[in-house]
Amino acid sequence: MDSAQEAQNREAFRQAIVNTLERRLFYIPSFKIYRGVAGLYDYGPPGCAVKSNVLAFWRKHFVLEENMLEVDCPCVTPEVVLNASGHVDKFTDLKVKDEKTGNCYRAGHLLKDFCKDKLERETNLGEEKKAEFKHVLAVLDDLSAEELDTKNPLSDPYPFNLMFQTSIGPSGMLPGYMLPETAQGIFVNFKDLYYYNGSKLPFAAAQIGQAFRNEISPRQGLLRVREFTLAEIEYFVDPEDKAYPKFSEVAKLEFLMFPREDQVSGRSAKRIPIGEAVAQGIVNNETLGYVIGRVYLFLTYLGIDKDRLRFRQHLANEMAHYAADCWDAEIECSYGWIECVGIADRFAYDLCAHTDKSGVPLVAHEKLPEPREVGKLVIAPVKKELGLAFKGNQRMVVEALEVVCLVPLCIYLILRFFFGGFEIQRPWEKRSSGVESDPGI
């Protein structure tokens, strides 16, 4: 079958399923009687029931099974929290504006569509041109605002923050945002949760909640929407000991994995037992491997076809600099391979960022059976000298140094992973800026 025929079949299949879903009220565009709002959907009775079954199973499979600490934090979040996490500065997409109508588009999307269109339709394309388009598609996420300029009658690309902004309280002086992910609510509570857990590591905290992203141009139905349900888990572990006691329970599972090496060398995904992947160092550590195995079980129990499910490792350019290793559970559907669950070893980044901004140390302690003698770096700012040298700026300089002291204390690895809700088709694609779920790059 040629590729055009295949695309047509795919289109027909999708049309049939979407018709059924909307007719039987699995989901429908929200506010339809007012002609709707792009990127907002309602779950009708059957969809709502599927969603609550998926969430109930998620709770059972993860929270109950692992004795996780579930929390429930508000969506309205003051600016200071999202400043610390990096979202206020970096959670942006590059957008372009039609200079006449004022319509906005995602610059990355336009470029992607252009390249794909050219590659599929123009058979007489020169080999160099073809290679160039393919290259552009590959590096799309890394392009900066200048490189994205396509010389169309559009404005220059400029960053647009994807958070819904609002104002808390009547004064108008306290800006706030709707949470773009639920994880921050867990990080800021680390200290209390650690105490609740008897001041012991490892433990995991979980949250199910609404998240909000003011997408520039929502598309692909439920796959890229402006409001969605996230289920997130944060595992907190000792960075010096990422072994996991229950790893043996999943070690024999075998499923499609797509390591970095294979992607770069153009091979395809292959079946590897997760135990072997960890032993060979393909997956960074046991805890990460355990979670990958549990996610595999979760998705296949739900009814996801195991032959259309793979775990793809992030390439070096996709990962935040601080991350140790990232794997996405990708599910194949009519839109291609869609990232549905992200499993990332985020190192100590988030807790350090909040420690830094709030001044509250978010740290864990390990009591040593015997006192140990260690060589320790001691940074002691001499206030008097600094005062003389920096005058009014003295405090800032002192604090910056103290924060440097704190960093070695932030000894956690945080595995976080994201889940979409229903249909296992939820927005988790790359951002054009490469700063999607990894603020702070």
Partner 1 sequence: MASSGAPKSHIDAAVQSLNVLKLDKASIKTQLQSAVSSNTDAFRQALVNTLERRLFYIPSFKIYRGVAGLYDYGPPGCAVKSNVLAFWRQHFVLEENMLEVDCPCVTPEIVLKASGHVDKFTDLMVKDDKTGTCYRADHLIKDYCKEKLDKDLTMTPEKAAELKHVLAILDDLSAEDLGAKIKEYGITAPDTKNHLSHPYPFNLMFQTSIGPSGFSPGYMRPETAQGIFVNFKDLYYYNGNKLPFAAAQIGQAFRNEISPRQGLLRVREFTLAEIEHFVDPQDKSHPKFSEISSLEFLMFPREEQMSGQSAKRLQIGEAVSQGIVNNETLGYFIGRVYLFLTRLGIDKERLRFRQHLANEMAHYAADCWDAEIECSYGWIECVGIADRSAYDLSAHSDKSGVALVAQEKFPEPREVEKLVIAPVKKELGLAFKGNQKMVTEALEAMDEKVALEMKADLESKGEVEFHVCTLGKNVTVKKNMVSISKEKKKEHQRVFTPSVIEPSFGIGRIIYCLFEHAFYLRPSKAGDEQLNVFCFPPLVAPIKCTVFPLVQNQQYEEVAKFISKLLTAAGISHKIDITGTSIGKRYARTDELGVPFAITVDSTTSVTIRERDSKDQIRVNVENVASVVKEVTDGQSTWDDALKTYPLHSSGSAED
Length of the chain: 441
- Residue 212, classed as helix, strand or coil, is strand
CA–CA distance, 171 with 61 (Å, rounded to integer): 44
* Closer to partner 1 by Cβ: residue 281 or 369: 369
For 316, phi then psi, to 5°, come to: -55, -40
Q: Nearest distance from residue 29's CB to partner 1, in Å?
A: 10
Q: Nearest distance from residue 13's CB to partner 1, in Å?
A: 24
CA–CA distance, 167 with 179 (Å, rounded to integer): 13
Q: Nearest distance from residue 195's CB to partner 1, in Å?
A: 9
* Closer to partner 1 by Cβ: residue 312 or 431: 431
Which one-letter amino acid corresponds to residue 330? Answer: E
Two structure tokens written together for 243 = 């072994």
Q: Nearest distance from residue 76's CB to partner 1, in Å?
A: 5
* Closer to partner 1 by Cβ: residue 194 or 296: 194
- The DSSP bridge pattern shows strands 309-313 and 254-258 to be parallel
CB proximity list for 232: less than 8 A, separation 6 or greater: 181, 182, 183, 186, 206, 207, 416, 417, 418, 419
Two structure tokens written together for 168 = 């808390």
- Residue 269, classed as helix, strand or coil, is coil
Q: In 114-196, at which residue ranges do the beta strands (DSSP E only) sit?
A: 158-161, 165-167, 175-178
* Residue among 250, 79, 98 at smallest CA distance from 161: 79
CA–CA distance, 328 with 220 (Å, rounded to integer): 19
Q: Nearest distance from residue 192's CB to partner 1, in Å?
A: 6
Two structure tokens written together for 219 = 């598309």
Residues 143, 108 contacting (CB under 8 angstroms): yes
Q: Nearest distance from residue 268's CB to partner 1, in Å?
A: 38
Sort 51 into a burial class: Cβ within 10 Å, 0-12 / 13-18 / 19+: middle
Residues 330, 304 contacting (CB under 8 angstroms): no
Q: Nearest distance from residue 440's CB to partner 1, in Å?
A: 17
* Closer to partner 1 by Cβ: residue 193 or 397: 193
* Closer to partner 1 by Cβ: residue 161 or 263: 161
* R_g of the chain computed on alpha carbons: 24
Q: Nearest distance from residue 48's CB to partner 1, in Å?
A: 5
* Closer to partner 1 by Cβ: residue 226 or 314: 226
Q: Which residue has the tokens 């960022």?
A: 353
* Closer to partner 1 by Cβ: residue 34 or 128: 34
* Closer to partner 1 by Cβ: residue 198 or 371: 198
Phi/psi class of residue 38: alpha, beta or left (left: φ > 0; alpha: ψ in -120 to 50)? beta
* Closer to partner 1 by Cβ: residue 130 or 357: 357
Q: Nearest distance from residue 437's CB to partner 1, in Å?
A: 20
* Closer to partner 1 by Cβ: residue 58 or 327: 58
CA–CA distance, 242 with 324 (Å, rounded to integer): 12
Q: Nearest distance from residue 314's CB to partner 1, in Å?
A: 28
Q: Nearest distance from residue 323's CB to partner 1, in Å?
A: 24
* Closer to partner 1 by Cβ: residue 55 or 386: 55
For 198, phi then psi, to 5°, come to: 75, 25
